[in-house]
Chains A and B, each alone.
Chain A
Amino acid sequence: GAVVSQHPSWVICKSGTSVKIECRSLDFQATTMFWYRQFPKQSLMLMATSNEGSKATYEQGVEKDKFLINHASLTLSTLTVTSAHPEDSSFYICSAKPWASGAYEQYFGPGTRLTVT
C-alpha cells in the first residue's frame, strides 16, 4: 500500500514553455502533499506544501507565480512550471501524507526529471 505516482517521469521542454507534473496517491487519500526539488548529488529542498482545497504554502525563496501548485482532490496535486528556463532543470519529487497519519508518514513519488533546453 501507500503508493504515490508521478507523471511524467521525464520531460524535455523548450525555454519559455510551461510544464505540468502530476502527483497521485494511488491507494490512499492525501490531505497534504509536498513538492520537493533535488539537484544532482544534493538533498531534497521543500518547495511548497499543498492542502486539498486550499492555496499552497511556499517556502521562502520559491516563486509562487512560477511554480503553480493545485491540489484539486484528495488524490491529485499538480505542479506547473511556467515559462521554464534552463535553471529550472531539476528532479522534482512529490510526497503525500495520508489522512490522520503520524507526523513521520510521507510517501514519496518516483520523481520527475525536467530538462529545459
Chain B
Amino acid sequence: QKEVEQDPGPLSVPEGAIVSLNCTYSNSAFQYFMWYRQYSRKGPELLMYTYSSGNKEDGRFTAQVDKSSKYISLFIRDSQPSDSATYLCAMTQAAGNKLTFGGGTRVLVKP
C-alpha cells in the first residue's frame, strides 16, 4: 500500500464548475500538507500548503485537512480551462524535508 493515495482521474468538468480533489494517507506523522499543480512537461508549482488540520483559502482555492481521517482535499471554484493540469498532493513530517507525493490527478476543464 502506498503512503499517499490519490485518484489518477482524469476528472473532467465544465468551465465554472467546482473541482474537488482529495488524497488519503497512512502515516500519522505527516504535519505539512501541500498541493502542487503540474502542467505537461513542466515542474510542479506550489498552490497551497496547510499545517496540521483545518481549512485554508486562497482566492479560488480551498485546502482542507482532516488528520483524524488522514484525508486532505483541494477545491477549485469557478474552474477555468487554464486549470487543466495534473494536481499532486504532497506531505512531509514536521522535522523532515522529504516530500511524499501522491500519484497525481489529471483535471480537464472543458470550455
Question: B42 and A111: CB pair below 8 A?
Answer: yes
Question: A97 and B43: CB pair below 8 A?
Answer: no
Question: B32 and A103: CB pair below 8 A?
Answer: yes
Chain B stretch 90-111: residues in CB contact (< 8 A) with chain A: 92-99, 101-104, 106
A46 interface contact, C-beta 8 A: yes
Question: B45 and A108: CB pair below 8 A?
Answer: yes
In the bound complex, residues from chain B placing their C-beta under 8 Å from that of A89 are none
Given A49-B97, A49-B98, CB of A104 within 8 Å of CB of B44: no
B41 interface contact, C-beta 8 A: yes
In the bound complex, residues from chain A placing their C-beta under 8 Å from that of B106 are 41
- 1/0 per residue, CB under 8 A from B, across A25-49: the answer is 0000000101000000111101001
In the bound complex, residues from chain A placing their C-beta under 8 Å from that of B96 are 103
* Interface bin, chain B: 20 to 34
Number of interface residues of A (CB under 8 A): 24
Chain A stretch 100-117: residues in CB contact (< 8 A) with chain B: 102-104, 106-111, 113
Question: B41 and A111: CB pair below 8 A?
Answer: yes
Question: A91 and B41: CB pair below 8 A?
Answer: yes
Q: Which residue of B lies closest to A109 (CB)?
A: B43
Chain B stretch 26-52: residues in CB contact (< 8 A) with chain A: 31-32, 34, 36, 41-46, 49, 51
Point out the residue from B6, B31, B41, B104 that lies within 8 Å of A103, measured CB to CB. B31
Distance in angstroms from B55 CB to nearest chain A CB is 16
A107 CA to B94 CA, complexed, in Å:
18
Given A41-B8, A43-B88, A44-B88, CB of A106 within 8 Å of CB of B99: yes
A residues contacting B by CB (< 8 A) are 4, 6, 32, 34, 41-44, 46, 49, 91, 93, 95, 97, 102-104, 106-111, 113
B residues contacting A by CB (< 8 A) are 6, 8, 31-32, 34, 36, 41-46, 49, 51, 88, 92-99, 101-104, 106
A32-B97, A102-B32 provided; 7 other pairs, C-beta below 8 A? A43-B103, A46-B99, A93-B43, A103-B31, A103-B96, A104-B34, A111-B43
